[in-house]
Amino acid sequence: MRAINSVTLLLLIVGGLNWGLVGLFDFDLVAALFGEMSALSRIVYTLVGASALYQLIPLFRGAENASVRSPSA
Residue 22 lies in a domain: no
What is the tally of structural domains in the chain?
Answer: 1
Residue 18 contacts residue 54 (beta carbons within 8 Å): no
The pLDDT assigned to 2 comes to 86
The pLDDT assigned to 61 comes to 86
The pLDDT assigned to 58 comes to 84
Residue 18 lies in a domain: no
Residue 12 contacts residue 55 (beta carbons within 8 Å): yes
Q: What does the pLDDT look like over 23-73, one tens digit per residue?
A: 999 999 999 999 999 999 999 999 999 999 999 988 888 877 766 565 665
Residue 43 contacts residue 51 (beta carbons within 8 Å): no
Residue 20 lies in a domain: no
Residue 24 lies in a domain: no
Residue 41 to residues 5, 34, 44, Cα–Cα distance (Å): 22, 5, 5
Residue 17 lies in a domain: no
CA angle 44, 52, 30 (to 5 degrees): 25
- Residue 47: give the domain boundaries: 1-7+29-67
